[in-house]
Amino acid sequence: MEIVIAIIVVAVLLAYVVLAILFHIGAINCYHPMKKPMENQVKVACVGDSITYGFMTGNRNANNYPTVLNGLLGDGFCVNNFSYTNRTVIKDADFPLVKEKVYKQSLHFNPDIVFILLGSNDSKENNWNKDKFIADYCEIIDSYLSLEAKPKVYLILPPPVFEVRGKVHYKLREYVIQDEICPAIKYVAKEKGLEYIDICSIFDGRCELFVDGVHPNAKGSKLLAESVFEFMRQNDCSEN
């Protein structure tokens, strides 16, 4: 009987450790905190996939780029992270963002500023379709532009992906991201009269800033937040 109890205790402890590790790297969605804005705060919505979510970043709640960005911006801003792993722009892809609760939450947030960082998962062979990507991206943008707050919407080009031990993880295709998705986002920005942030160039050749060749580590997430912050500073994004 004592052996059985010992086995059960060990199994429970191992399960707890595994869950703690998965939560630490952002692999499970146990807790996705949303901050309630205070009066006169500028509301910023960071919309995206696992790169925005902070998957694999380590201590995700502290190191995901929206949290770091909020720290840089200070008390006058309320930045919320509306994202989750594997999500796509294309509505009939495997995991479209628009079907997620966080997308609906981002609209309900009625933000003053929106940053959209999507596209990496659309590069998968089973997902990619340029015409659908452009059309569905425009729909996402329009859903924010039509909000009561009339937010400023900015697009962020997805970062490059790097080979790890001779392959790129998660079936992402670097040449599609570079040669088709980034140009498509630039096209959408031009058509909609929006500006974009080229973090693809910022991270070019910086594989040391990624955990697995796809997801930024804490230093990479910090650089992403700093790049967005500098863009906001240069464009005086505090004025809506």
Q: CA-to-CA distance for 221 and 85, rounded, in angstroms?
A: 15
pLDDT of residue 167: 84
Give the least confident one: 12-16, 19-23, 69-73, 79-83: 19-23
The residue among 79 and 12 whose pLDDT is bigger is 79
pLDDT of residue 20: 47
Residues 6+ apart with CB under 8 A from 12: none
Tell me what the pLDDT averaged over the chain comes to: 90
Asked if 169 and 118 count as a contact pair (C-beta separation under 8 A), the reply is no
Q: Kindly state the average pLDDT of the residues 72-81.
A: 97
- Give the 3-state secondary structure of residue 33: coil
Residue 12 confidence (pLDDT) above 70: no
Residue 213 confidence (pLDDT) above 90: yes
Q: CA-to-CA distance for 52 and 28, rounded, in angstroms?
A: 15
Q: Kindly state the average pLDDT of the residues 117-132.
A: 98
Q: What is the pLDDT of residues 86-100, one digit of tens each?
A: 999 999 999 999 999
Name the pLDDT band for 4 (thresholds 50, 70, 90): low
pLDDT of residue 24: 41
Q: What is the rounded (10 degree) CA torsion for 51, 223, 117, 121? A: -40
Q: Kindly state the average pLDDT of the residues 12-34.
A: 53
Name the pLDDT band for 10 (thresholds 50, 70, 90): low
Give the least confident one: 19-33, 45-59, 102-116, 131-145: 19-33
Q: What is the pLDDT of residues 128-168, one digit of tens each?
A: 999 999 999 999 999 999 999 999 999 999 999 999 887 88
Residue 13 confidence (pLDDT) above 80: no
Name the pLDDT band for 26 (thresholds 50, 70, 90): very low
Two tokens at 177?
């991201």
pLDDT of residue 137: 98
Q: What is the rounded (10 degree) CA torsion for 188, 118, 36, 39? A: -30
Two tokens at 189?
């920005």
